[in-house]
Amino acid sequence: MHKTASTFLQRSYFKSLDCDFLTLKPFRENFSKQLSTQTQLLSSELMSGKPWNKKWLQGKANSHSWLTSYKVSIDTLRKLFPKAHILLFIRKHGNLLVSMYKQYIHEGGVLPLEQFYGDHKVIQKSDLFLEERIHYVKERFENVHILSFEIFRDEGIKYLDNFFNHLNIKRVKKVTMIKYNEGVSGNKLKALRLSNKLYRFIPHKVDVVLRKTGVTPRNILQNHLKFWSVSENNTIKNFKQKINLQYASDWHATLKYIFK
């Protein structure tokens, strides 16, 4: 799933395992040639579907559905790798939703939070039911493993080591906990959203140069203004708590699937 430490897993942890690690981003034409007889571990957030499309980034309502995209991705995986072990990281609903909203803004999104989640919006209520997602993948694969971002956050690498030992896959290199793609919060997030609205009108040739040189609103706010320290505002905190309560029964239903 998106926003479940996937960048850390791909850049640090998975590469330390005694298996061949391949990322599906970007997908290469000679992908089949990369596969060997060794144990393969493939990873990409897009395996769990695409949460939004370009129109939603521009603030234009359309019929794109994250849940539908998820189901299409799972069906495609079933056709390509019918005997695969599936690892699905999940996260509490409110925490996941807020983190995804920040990622939406990081990618150039322009909508405020109240227009991001709800009926006929970027992320719809049906998109967040985790048990439905788990059932869908378990109906198509025999070996499905559910891991919790919350447990990983508390236990760190030990949690991952215990899981992969369970699969008889050992870690052969030292791994250091590193935060990747750390999001912006508070007024920084608001400033980035407003900057995105203006940035859209920059000519394409200028945009290409700015991206190559790293002079983009996201890069400036995320990496060059770290001294501007802001905490999560009460609106975001209250929203997160509200969503967690709204989906409390769904979260409770997923606990029986989680590796502990």
Whether 24 has a pLDDT exceeding 70, the answer reads: no
Least-confidence region, from 108-117, 156-165, 225-234, 235-244: 225-234
Q: For residue 232, tell me if it sits in a domain.
A: no
Sign of torsion over alpha carbons 26, 32, 38, 43: positive
Decide which of 44 and 128 is more confident. 128
How many domains is the chain built from?
Answer: 1
Q: How many CA atoms lie within 13 A of 210 on its CB side?
A: 14
Report how far residue 179's alpha carbon sits from residue 212's, in angstroms, rounded to the nearest whole number: 23
**Pick from 259, 105, 130: nearest CA to 188:** 105
Query: Does residue 131 belong to any structural domain of this protein?
Result: yes
Return mean pLDDT, the chain. Answer: 87
Residue 15 forms part of a structural domain? yes
* Domain containing residue 22: 6-182+248-257
* Tens-place pLDDT, residues 87-108: 999 999 999 999 999 999 999 9
DSSP class of residue 22 equals E
CA atoms lying within 13 Å on the CB side of residue 187 = 5
Q: In which element (H, E) is residue 79 found? A: helix 66-80
Q: What share of the chain is helix, strand, coil (3-state, %, to 5)?
A: 55, 10, 35
d(Cα 253, Cα 246) in Å, to the nearest integer?
13
Let me know how long the chain is. 260
In a domain, 221, yes or no: no
**Two structure tokens written together for 18:** 């005694």
Q: Domain for residue 242, yes or no?
A: no
Mean pLDDT over 151-168 rounds to: 95
Q: With a threshold of 0.75, does the pTM exceed it?
A: yes
State residue 222's pLDDT score.
66
Asked whether 219 and 179 are in contact (CB, 8 A), the reply is no
Residue 11 included in any domain: yes
Given this model, what pLDDT does residue 2 score?
Answer: 80
Weakest mean pLDDT among 14-23, 158-167, 244-253: 14-23
C-alpha distances out from residue 150 to 194, 215, 249, Å: 31, 34, 17
Lowest mean pLDDT among 3-7, 37-41, 118-122, 130-134: 37-41
Domain-embedded: residue 162: yes
Containing 90, the helix (H) or strand (E) segment is: strand 85-90
Q: What is the pLDDT of residue 224?
A: 52
CA distances from 154 to 15, 167, 180 (A): 22, 22, 17
Res 29 pLDDT > 80: no
Domain contains 38: yes
